[in-house]
Structure 1
């Protein structure tokens, strides 16, 4: 198991000694997902946190008319959790789906509690990671929607250049709030 990317990520938010790193490594399990498989489905309670070693996932939901809406994408070296479902123990209202084949490191809720009880700085590291994640999420959302469709697509290409060729067009279209047909027209016009 290659946990180095996860450990390097954690070290951005606080110091860990080798004994603490060993404890974290002992708490991890590796899981692989094929493209289109679900990490979490609506109605399930989130009881795990994933860290993506390889691949891309998307967070999506269905609107009142049954349309599938992609909220955002998560790629390598990022954590993955439905934080509301995980913290409150309530069913998720969205889906977390692998867009490509994925390899993840998994921390169960029990493992997180054990780390919290054992590693003094763990809660501080987790709070800093959550704050960073929420701030990035707000920035992504607020920058996307005052723009027209072409500007949103160009923004997507600028902010997520490594996703554009890895994610199906219908997911990108859904993410920027347009139809796949409209996205095809935009892509032709900017070439």
Structure 2
């Protein structure tokens, strides 16, 4: 919970009693590699904070191909917030790329904090904005050649290169795993 407290205090000010309420509203869970935090076809029911590990956002296109849209690593919120907030069915999966340790709030506990803690809505909104930015930022530009996309990936996500399967990186970059292997070989 210490990591979550540090994260919250970077965004806003809460006293010890308020911080205790936040930590009492959450539980720590382990999410094994390849397991889902939330799934397409279901309504997201929880907000998570990544303590350890990497989660990816992915979906299936019209051709049935799996597309990785983003990576979410330590000290970040993980949630399909638009559908979580609207109570609507998600079109994407949030899947563990590695074994993960998360701090998780149920929808009810997340909403209750707004009723109990003055100023929680402001902190929550800032956390959600960061989450949305992280999920949307630094996507590969399809008009760039694959090598440039990979070099930008290495620059934007240096800590992920050796932590997540190449298939996910290839999917994110919009290339085949064979092409990615060639690119990596040529860069060395």
| TM-score between both structures, scaled by the size of structure 2 | 0.95
Match of 1:156 in 2: 153
**In structure 2, do the counterparts of structure 1 residues 101 and 47 end up closer, same or farther at CA, with 3 Å as the change threshold?**
same
Check if 1:174 corresponds to 2:180: no
Structure 1 residue 146 displacement after superposition: 4.4
Deviations along 1:54-83, one digit per CA (max 9) or x if unpaired, are 111111011111101000111111110001
**Aligned positions, number:** 188
More off after superposition, 9-18 vs 125-134: 125-134
Q: CA RMSD in A?
A: 1.3
Match of 2:61 in 1: 63
**In structure 2, do the counterparts of structure 1 residues 69 and 42 end up closer, same or farther at CA, with 3 Å as the change threshold?**
same
Structure 1 residue 136 displacement after superposition: 4.1
Aligned partners of 1:134 and 1:58: how far apart in 2? Answer: 13
Aligned partners of 1:94 and 1:139: how far apart in 2? Answer: 17
Aligned partners of 2:124 and 2:150: how far apart in 1? Answer: 32
Aligned partners of 1:16 and 1:125: how far apart in 2? Answer: 9
More off after superposition, 145-154 vs 48-57: 145-154
Gaps of 5+ in 1: none
Gaps of 5+ in 2: none
